[in-house]
């Protein structure tokens, strides 16, 4: 079997006999019979690993460079574009309804909530982890099978045009923007750039006659709602939305009331805070639109417990810890702090990492956060990163350059019977504090 010069997705699909679920991009994860796509990155060239993939038993390798081999080799102009085109074709061949989710905060939590709820009625597939970019979205789509009825597809963005690219691949039937805030603002140029990029999801779905979901509790989304002729809205009663809710309790878990035509139903979720309340009502709204009953929604919510350092409640010695160390931007930081204030506990510690990718607004946003912390009156505040103000006239505040220095101090002054919020981006590696 010699080298194939196969340029279009249809030819690739036929050659693979539809076995796109066997596509891998990492030779370390490759099993015999898999199809290896030789992607390139800033610091690596997957073409160099193609011979290794063949040795490990790959049925095919897809390359865009001459690797000096012919057997089971498919040569294309661009491996990434070929993979994306193949994903688009596979998505169109499947019957699943696709729900596209993006937003500055809450998209992963909402995706997880939706999965747990919708699987009570439908054969459901959802993005694994946070594989939400130009590579992760195709890899998720490749997992679609004829049995699947719904795909919950998370879409992330770092720059203008990213969401438009992902919608072209995933072709969503429904769209949700969870929130609009100053996340990754450095790549977008401005907050307006963030809004325009996230709106690409709504524009795409609306142009194809799909369904849009608007959270009118969010001022930016409320304003965006007026730009679209159609769309389903949700929010608190004061918003006069199509689906209305009331927050009854935000700590230690969320309790809310959902209003139906002739009745009201209380739901519970194993999450805390107003910010997560928004994620919960978004999930309930989509579930109600898709015909799930009260029992199915309640069961899905009850089955979901946050993991992977996203609003995760755990214990550390005799301390109770809220570990929310996967994502951090001004909106999510402020929301977490405000919610943490409401917890009934006399001795509360806060450990915060820096917020990255804020561009020229970084100093201002870190200062705003510092002022919020001062007013909150926590027993101890540990800040990690030079972006924070080191001139605080507060003995309760301690500043460290990195997480290792902070960890060393914490272990020397080991907290006992404290309630501790650990909040920051993944790059800060704050989870190291809880490991020996």
CATH code, domain carrying 375: 3.90.190.20
Residue 87 lies in a domain: no
Statement to judge: residues 283 and 319 lie in one domain: no
Residues 299 and 168 in one domain: yes
In a domain, 232, yes or no: yes
Residue 208 located in a structural domain: yes
Phi, psi of 420 (to 5 degrees): -120, 125
Which parts of the chain have pLDDT scores under 70? 1-7, 181-189, 389-394
Decide the pairing of beta strands 254-259 and 243-249. antiparallel
Strand ranges (E), 325-366: 348-353
- Residue 17 has phi, psi (to 5 degrees) of 55, 35
Residue 268 structural domain: 94-303
User: Nearest 5°: CA angle at 377, between 346 and 412?
Assistant: 70
Backbone angles phi, psi at 249, to 5 degrees: -160, 135
Note whether 410 and 371 are same-domain residues. Answer: yes
**How many structural domains compose the chain?**
3
- pLDDT of the residue at 160: 84
Q: Give the HSE-up count for residue 215: Cα atoms under 13 Å, Cβ half-sphere.
A: 27
The answer to the question of residue 89 being in a domain is: no
CA-wise closest residue to 302 among 120, 157, 175: 120
- Residue 281: phi and psi, rounded to 5, are -70, -30
183 in Cβ contact with 131 (< 8 Å):
no
Last residue of a domain, which of 303, 328, 362?
303
Could you identify the residue written with the tokens 């909402």? Answer: 110
pLDDT digit string, tens, across residues 73-88: 999 999 999 999 999 9
- Residue identified by tokens 């490990």 is 56
Residue of 167, 199, 208, 174 whose CA lies nearest to 289? 174
With vertex at residue 190, the alpha carbon angle to CA 185 and CA 194, rounded to the nearest 5 degrees, is 65
Report which secondary-structure segment, H or E, holds 191.
helix 191-207
Asked if 27 and 109 sit in the same domain, the reply is no
Residues 6+ apart with CB under 8 A from 407: 432, 433
Residue 340 burial (10 A CB sphere; 0-12, 13-18, 19+):
buried
DSSP 3-state of 75: strand
Bin 356: left if φ > 0, else alpha if -120 < ψ < 50, else beta: beta
State the pLDDT at residue 270.
94
Let me know whether 101 and 214 are in one domain. yes
- pLDDT at residue 184 in the model: 54
Which residues does residue 391 pair with via DSSP β-bridges, in sequence order? none
Q: What is the pLDDT of residues 101-141, one digit of tens each?
A: 999 889 999 999 999 999 999 999 999 987 899 999 999 99
Helix 330-342 vs helix 362-376: crossing angle, to nearest 10: 0
**101 and 55 fall within a common domain:** no
Contact by Cβ (8 Å): 118, 152: yes
Instruction: Say how far residue 79 (Cα) sits from the centre of its chain.
Output: 25
Question: Taking the CB of residue 112, how many other CB atoms lie within 10 A of it?
Answer: 23
Question: Is residue 82 left, alpha or beta, with left meaning phi > 0 and alpha meaning psi from -120 to 50?
Answer: alpha
Q: Are 322 and 421 in contact (CB under 8 A)?
A: yes
Q: Flag whether 84 is in a domain.
A: no
Residues 159 and 272 grouped into a single domain: yes
The predicted pLDDT at position 5 comes to 64
Instruction: Specify whether the CB–CB gap between 370 and 388 falls below 8 A.
Output: yes
CA 365 distance to own-chain centroid: 22
Q: What is the CATH classification number for the domain harbouring 244?
A: 3.40.1190.10
Statement to judge: residues 122 and 219 lie in one domain: yes
Give yes or no: residues 18 and 152 share one domain: no
180 with 253, same domain? yes
Residue 422 belongs to a domain: yes
Do the domain assignments include residue 86?
A: no
Q: What is the predicted pLDDT for the residue at 6?
A: 63
Last residue of a domain, one of 303, 336, 357: 303
Among 286, 303, 320, residue at a domain's last position: 303
In a domain, 85, yes or no: no
* 3-state SS class at 242: coil
136 Cβ partners below 8 Å, 6+ apart?
Answer: 127, 130, 156
CATH at 26:
3.40.1390.10
Structure tokens at 253: 């878990």
Give me the pLDDT at residue 10, please: 87
- The reply to whether 319 and 420 lie within a common domain is yes
233 shares its domain with 150: yes
């Amino acid at each position: 079997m010699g080298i194939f010069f196969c340029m279009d997705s249809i030819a690739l699909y036929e050659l693979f006999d539809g076995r796109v679920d066997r596509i891998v991009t990492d030779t370390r994860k490759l099993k015999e019979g898999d199809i290896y796509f030789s992607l390139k990155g800033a610091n690596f060239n997957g073409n160099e690993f193609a011979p290794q993939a063949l040795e490990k038993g790959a049925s095919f390798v897809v390359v865009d460079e001459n690797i000096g081999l012919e057997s089971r080799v498919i040569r294309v102009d661009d491996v990434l574009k070929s993979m994306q085109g193949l994903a688009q074709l596979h998505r169109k061949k499947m019957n699943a309804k696709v729900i596209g989710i993006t937003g500055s905060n809450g998209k992963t939590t909402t995706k997880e909530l939706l999965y747990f709820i919708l699987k009570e009625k439908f054969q459901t597939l959802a993005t694994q982890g946070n594989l939400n970019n130009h590579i992760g979205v195709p890899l998720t789509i490749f997992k679609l099978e004829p049995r699947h009825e719904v795909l919950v597809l998370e879409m992330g963005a770092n720059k203008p045009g990213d969401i438009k690219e992902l919608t072209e691949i995933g072709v969503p039937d429904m769209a949700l923007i969870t929130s609009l805030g100053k996340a990754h603002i450095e790549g977008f140029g401005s907050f307006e750039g963030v809004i325009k990029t996230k709106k690409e999801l709504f524009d795409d779905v609306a142009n194809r006659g799909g369904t849009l979901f608007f959270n009118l509790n969010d001022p930016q989304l409320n304003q965006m709602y007026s730009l679209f002729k159609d769309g389903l809205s949700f929010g608190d009663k004061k918003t006069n939305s199509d689906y209305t809710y009331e927050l009854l309790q935000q700590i230690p878990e969320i309790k809310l009331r959902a209003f139906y035509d002739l009745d009201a139903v209380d739901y519970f979720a194993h999450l805390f805070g107003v910010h997560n309340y928004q994620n919960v009502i978004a999930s309930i709204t989509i579930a109600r639109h898709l015909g799930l009953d009260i029992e199915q929604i309640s069961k899905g919510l009850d089955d979901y417990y946050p993991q992977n350092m996203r609003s995760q409640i755990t214990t550390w010695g005799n301390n109770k810890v809220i570990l929310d160390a996967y994502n951090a931007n001004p909106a999510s930081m402020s929301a977490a702090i405000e919610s943490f204030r409401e917890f009934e506990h006399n001795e509360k510690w806060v450990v915060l990492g820096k917020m990255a990718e804020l561009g020229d607004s970084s100093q201002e946003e870190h200062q705003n956060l510092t002022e919020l912390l001062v007013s909150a009156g926590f027993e101890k505040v540990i800040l990690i990163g030079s972006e924070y103000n080191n001139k605080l006239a507060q003995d309760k505040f301690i500043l460290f350059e990195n997480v290792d220095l902070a960890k060393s101090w914490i272990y020397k002054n080991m907290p006992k019977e404290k309630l501790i919020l650990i909040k920051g981006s993944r790059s800060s590696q704050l989870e190291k504090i809880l490991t020996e």
